[in-house]
Amino acid sequence: MARTRIALNESEFFLAQGQDVAELRGRMEGAMRAGGGFVEFVVVGNRAVSVLITAATQVVISVEAVEYDARDTGDSAVPYGGEYDLL
């Protein structure tokens, strides 16, 4: 499957399955044009992330091929990824 990585300044996140990258880019560009604002998205582990986007925010988006993970549904109501998932 394809996994999208987004780097925001010094932080990196892998987007959960089902995230619309073009739509997310549009929301980030809109927040930047509005002078700044928070943009939310769901990352691997089904966790919601909220990022403040400003004109100074550096954003890099890349895509890579990875093995399929059935837990990565993009449903932030069912998070996973705690210490027990490392076993």
Claim: this prediction has a pTM higher than 0.85: no
Which of 67, 72, 64 has the alpha carbon at shortest distance from 19? 72
Nearest 5°: phi and psi at 83? -60, -25
Query: pLDDT digits over 35-86, tens only?
Result: 999 999 999 888 899 999 999 999 999 988 877 777 767 666 666 665 444 4
Residue 6 neighbours by CB distance under 10 Å: 22
Q: Do residues 15 and 6 lie in contact, with contact meaning Cβ atoms separated by under 8 Å? A: yes
How far apart are the C-alpha atoms of 15 and 47, rounded to whole Å? 10
Query: pLDDT digits over 9-45, tens only?
Result: 989 999 988 889 999 999 999 999 999 999 999 998 8
Confidence class for position 3, pLDDT limits 50, 70, 90: confident
Q: Do residues 28 and 37 lie in contact, with contact meaning Cβ atoms separated by under 8 Å? A: no
